[in-house]
């Protein structure tokens, strides 16, 4: 009996200490990420001299994810307009669909969908690539040569993401709204002309810049979390896999949470 | 001169280095031998300033490496080259660009000057044919040689070698050994070499130290090591299965 209780105690103790360890790691990791962002902004003055690397990264993260981006945007827009359109048509209100589409895409879904896709595409790739460099001593080799890894590796990736994510999110908005137009034409009996006329009427500049601001913030979140996870990778290939997984999950969570706060900042939520 | 003074280091609960002291004179080739996991790489990483010891100090020419700021560390590292165990080549640069990297990034010369230095180092290590290959397309031994070419491209005063001959064929090993000796003779380079390759250790060493479980258990000239009566050292250098070393 005593034995069982003792085991039980040590289990509980082990549970708390492992939770504590994880929390400590989280705090350390968050601090590391913030410092990384700060250092990246210091290194921004070298952005021009690293332009070749930046363009290469833009190609890697942007152009390669274009196809998936297109499909997600188009079908995302179609699903959204189909759901709302079918309901609204019952009340004869299908004209509202274009207004709904441009608003939702601009304010929220454009940045969000693109962020999700680029997390999977380039965030994961960044974490894996930098993690591999870390465990194969390449990062150490750079430090040994007094080459700042933030300047050489991290900054170009964050900058390229800051260019590509807003650009792609505009593309996503355009394509998503177009998806809505297709559904409206075939299922709701709206002509393209009517649809786009209503879309133009209800574009708000504020929605556009909030959307762009969001995508810019998402870009910084995703790329810095991914790079930080890569740089903190340990223990060979296993650690690289872990870094990749954690970077994707934490990017998603942070995009959702920060996304909410930006929305509430500009459109007044309860907090 | 490299002075390692009473350094101890633990990772988590594991004590990896326990009160290690070494003094490596200028122009000396100092070899550290020991089993896998004994802490050899960890010593090199302390000398290069990647780890700060829990206690003790590392001094390079009288300047403290541990706890140095990034500017000071940079000055100290300018004197050093480090050959990493796996070569540590930047995977998206080809062989030539890898070797040129420290020169290009610090703008040490025009393009033609840099090309000349790089070609010279590549041919020194018989890598002329591989100049345009990517790291993923060359063998482990070649990666190591490219890593060495990169480590010596700025003509450092101190070179730290992490297992320079493992993964190389005997002829190439002899060639690397000769190169280490030549750099010592002609350029007065100070070398710290970590290896398990006893043949190579005897060939190049001025002094050999054996690390066992985080402590230096013997340090002396190759002849002294050969004639050591310490049973741990005897077992290791003779490669015997039976003895005090737990396998
Ligand atoms: N960054 C680190 N974090 C945690 N443990 C580490 C770290 N670096 C090394 N160790 C541990 O320290 C011990 C010694 O490692 P080290 O790399 O110095 O061995 P080594 O003598 O170079 O071995 P090998 O010949 O296999 O390269 C090992 O048990 C290793 O697991
Ligand atoms: Mg080692």
pLDDT digits (tens, 9 = 90+) for A33-76: 999 999 999 988 988 888 999 999 999 888 888 999 999 999 99
Q: Is the CB of B11 under 6 A from ligand 1?
A: yes
**Lowest-confidence pick of A132-141, A225-234, B160-169:** B160-169
CA of B68 to the centre of ligand 2 (A): 24
Task: Find out whether B196 and B166 touch, Cβ atoms under 8 Å.
Answer: yes
Give me A192's structure tokens: 């393209």
pLDDT per position as a tens digit, A72-121: 999 999 999 999 998 888 888 888 899 989 999 998 899 999 999 999 99
pLDDT per position as a tens digit, B11-53: 988 999 999 999 999 999 999 999 888 999 999 999 999 999 9
The more confident residue out of B147 and A22 is: B147
Q: What is the predicted pLDDT for the residue at A80?
A: 92
> How near does any CA of chain B get to the CA of A68, in Å?
25
Ligand 1 atom at minimum distance from B211 CA = 21
Q: What is the predicted pLDDT for the residue at A271?
A: 54
Mean pLDDT of B141-169: 90
Q: What is the predicted pLDDT for the residue at A221?
A: 95
> How near does any CA of chain B get to the CA of A175, in Å?
34
Residues of A with CB under 8 A from a CB of B: 132-133, 136-138, 140-147, 152
**Lowest-confidence pick of A11-15, A248-252, B140-144, B228-232:** A11-15
Residue A2 scores a pLDDT above 80: no
Mean pLDDT of B162-181: 88
Give the DSSP letter of residue B184.
H
Q: What is the predicted pLDDT for the residue at A94?
A: 85
Residue A9 scores a pLDDT above 80: no
Chains A, B: CB contacts within 8 A come to 46
Q: What is the predicted pLDDT for the residue at A111?
A: 93
Chain A residues inside the 8 Å CB shell of B161: none
Q: What is the predicted pLDDT for the residue at A93?
A: 87
Query: What secondary structure does DSSP assign to chain A, as a single string?
Result: -HHHHHHHHHHHHHHHHHHHHHHHHHHHHHHHHHHHHHHHHHHGGGTTTTHHHHHHHHHHHTGGGHHHHHHHHHHHHHHHHHHHHHHHHHTT-TTHHHHHHHHHIIIIIHHHHHHHHHIIIIIHHHHHHHHHHHHTTHHHHHHHTT--HIIIIIHHHHHHHHHHHHHHHHHHHHHHHHHHHHHIIIII---HHHHHHHHHHT--HHHHHHHHHHHHHHHHHHHHHHHHHHHT--SHHHHHHHHHHHHHHHHHHHHHHHHHHHHHHHHT---
Residue A270 scores a pLDDT above 60: no
Q: What is the predicted pLDDT for the residue at B168?
A: 83
CA of A82 to the centre of ligand 2 (A): 61
CA of B25 to the centre of ligand 1 (A): 26
Q: Is the CB of B140 under 6 A from ligand 1?
A: no
């Amino acid at each position: 009996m005593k034995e069982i209780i003792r085991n039980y105690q040590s289990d509980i103790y082990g549970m708390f200490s492992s939770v504590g360890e994880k929390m400590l790691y989280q705090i350390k990791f968050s601090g590391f990420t913030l410092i990384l962002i700060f250092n990246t902004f210091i290194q921004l003055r070298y952005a021009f001299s690293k332009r070749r690397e930046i363009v290469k990264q833009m190609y890697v993260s942007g152009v390669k994810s274009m196809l998936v981006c297109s499909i997600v945007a188009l079908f995302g827009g179609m699903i959204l307009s189909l759901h709302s359109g079918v309901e609204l048509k019952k009340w004869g209100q299908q004209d509202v669909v274009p207004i709904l589409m441009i608003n939702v895409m601009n304010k929220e879904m454009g940045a969000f969908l693109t962020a999700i896709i680029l997390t999977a595409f380039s965030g994961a790739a960044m974490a894996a690539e930098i993690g591999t460099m870390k465990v194969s001593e390449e990062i150490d080799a750079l430090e040994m040569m007094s080459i700042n890894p933030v300047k050489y590796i991290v900054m170009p990736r964050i900058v390229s993401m800051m260019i590509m994510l807003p650009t792609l999110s505009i593309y996503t908005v355009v394509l998503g709204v177009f998806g809505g137009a297709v559904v409206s034409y075939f299922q709701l009996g709206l002509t393209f002309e009517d649809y786009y006329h209503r879309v133009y009427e209800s574009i708000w500049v504020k929605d556009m810049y909030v959307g762009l601001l969001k995508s810019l913030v998402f870009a910084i979140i995703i790329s810095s979390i991914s790079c930080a996870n890569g740089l903190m990778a340990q223990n060979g290939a296993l650690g690289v896999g872990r870094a990749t997984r954690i970077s994707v999950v934490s990017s998603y969570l942070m995009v959702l949470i920060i996304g909410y706060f930006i929305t509430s900042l500009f459109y007044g939520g309860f907090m | 001169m490299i002075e390692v003074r009473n350094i101890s280091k633990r990772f988590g609960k594991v004590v990896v280095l326990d009160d290690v002291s070494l003094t490596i004179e200028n122009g000396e080739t100092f070899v550290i031998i020991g089993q896998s996991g004994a802490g050899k790489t960890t010593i090199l990483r302390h000398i290069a300033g990647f780890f700060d010891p829990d206690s003790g100090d590392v001094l390079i020419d009288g300047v403290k490496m541990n706890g140095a700021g990034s500017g000071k560390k940079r000055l100290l590292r300018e004197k050093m080259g480090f050959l990493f165990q796996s070569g540590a080549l930047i995977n998206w640069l080809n062989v030539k660009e890898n070797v040129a990297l420290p020169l290009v990034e610090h703008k040490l010369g025009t393009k033609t000057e840099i090309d000349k230095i790089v070609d010279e180092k590549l041919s020194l290590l018989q890598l002329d044919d591989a100049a345009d290959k990517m790291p993923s397309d060359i063998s482990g031994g070649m990666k190591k040689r490219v890593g060495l070419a990169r480590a010596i491209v700025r003509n450092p005063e101190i070179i730290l070698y992490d297992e320079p001959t493992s993964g190389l064929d005997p002829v190439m090993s002899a060639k690397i050994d000769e190169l280490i000796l030549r750099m010592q003779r002609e350029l007065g380079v100070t070398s710290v070499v970590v290896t398990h390759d006893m043949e190579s250790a005897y060939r190049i060493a001025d002094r050999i130290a054996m690390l066992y479980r985080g402590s230096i258990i013997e340090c002396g000239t190759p002849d002294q090591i050969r004639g050591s009566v310490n049973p741990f050292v005897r077992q290791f250098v003779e490669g015997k299965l039976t003895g005090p070393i737990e396998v």
